[in-house]
Amino acid sequence: MMEKQSIITVMRQLQAEKLKVEDEMKNRRTAITVSYEQFIELFYIQANICLRKRNEMHDFVIDKDNKDLIEDLYFYFSLNQRFSGSLYKGILLTGSYGVGKSIILMSCSKICTCLTNKNITIVHSLNLAQFINEKDIGYYVQRPLLIDDLGKESISMKVFGTEIRPIVELLTQRYDNGAWTFATSNNSPKSLADFYGETINERMKTMFNIIEIEGPSRREQ
């Protein structure tokens, strides 16, 4: 049986490790330190840059369908307790085609990158599987990452005749490492659960604040 002194030593070691992990978790996030009004000015500029890159010449509109969400995301990136969810989870925006998921989350992520030392890598799910295959999954395991159109990629691919599931493996490793992850998806949470399986679905609930955007398509006809 372990002596009392040995138990105390082990408890102290574990407590020190716990505090270290908690500090590392907090240091993964850096708050943006601008006012809401300044954030909105930056948001409009960045959102319109996204639109111009798509060859869309109209300006982004903040209205009743997205105003509350954008304000909530400001609280999130400011590490403000007024955020409606957990400040230590990532963000998954779901909703129909064209409601502005990608532009909203990309714009917020780019503002965060510009104002802090946390560079958020943005990649489309269709490209990510190939990038993982080419660059090694380790490159994407820890870094802050935004996956656009999650669930649009093929669930598996063959590499030298071996079938692999790169996005599933990446999400698993990011979950295990507590990595800061963002995503958008046209699929509902239920559809994503069907696509990735129940294990990944349960992990995604832990990884993400899952927020649905409602409203009509904003894409010009």
Q: DSSP state, 52? A: H
pLDDT band at 10 (very low <50, low <70, confident <90, very high): confident
- Residue-wise pLDDT tens digits, 83-99: 999 999 999 999 998 89
Token output for 76: 């999130």
For residue 87, is it within any domain? yes
For a pLDDT cut of 70, what percent of the chain falls above it? Answer: 93
For residue 111, is it within any domain? yes
User: Looking at the predicted structure, is the pLDDT value of residue 118 above 80?
Assistant: yes
* Residue 181, phi then psi, degrees to nearest 5: -125, 135
What's residue 6's pLDDT? 85
Q: What is the total count of domains within the chain?
A: 1
Q: What is the pTM of this model?
A: 0.86
Owning domain of residue 131: 29-213
CA distances from 106 to 22, 123, 157, 170 (A): 27, 10, 27, 20
For residue 208, is it within any domain? yes
User: Looking at the predicted structure, is the pLDDT value of residue 212 above 80?
Assistant: yes
For residue 52, is it within any domain? yes
pLDDT band at 171 (very low <50, low <70, confident <90, very high): very high
Token output for 81: 């307790």
Q: DSSP state, 84? A: S
- Residue-wise pLDDT tens digits, 191-201: 999 999 999 99
Token output for 94: 């779901």
pLDDT band at 221 (very low <50, low <70, confident <90, very high): very low
Alpha helices in the chain (DSSP H): 4-27, 36-53, 67-77, 101-115, 125-135, 138-141, 166-177, 189-196, 198-207
CA distances from 121 to 49, 97, 124, 145 (A): 17, 23, 10, 5
CB atoms near residue 44 (< 10 Å): 15
Of 57-66, 159-168, 197-206, where does mean pLDDT reach its minimum?
159-168
Of 34-38, 137-141, 181-185, where does mean pLDDT reach its minimum?
137-141
The full DSSP string for 121-152 is EEEEHHHHHHHHHHH-THHHHSS-EEEETTT-
The partner residues of 113 in beta bridges, in order of sequence, read none
Mean pLDDT along residues 126-147: 87
Query: 76 vs 2, which has greater pLDDT?
Result: 76
What's residue 213's pLDDT? 93
For residue 221, is it within any domain? no
The helix (H) or strand (E) run that includes residue 183 is strand 181-185
Q: What is the CATH number of the domain that holds 72?
A: 3.40.50.300
For a pLDDT cut of 90, what percent of the chain falls above it? Answer: 66
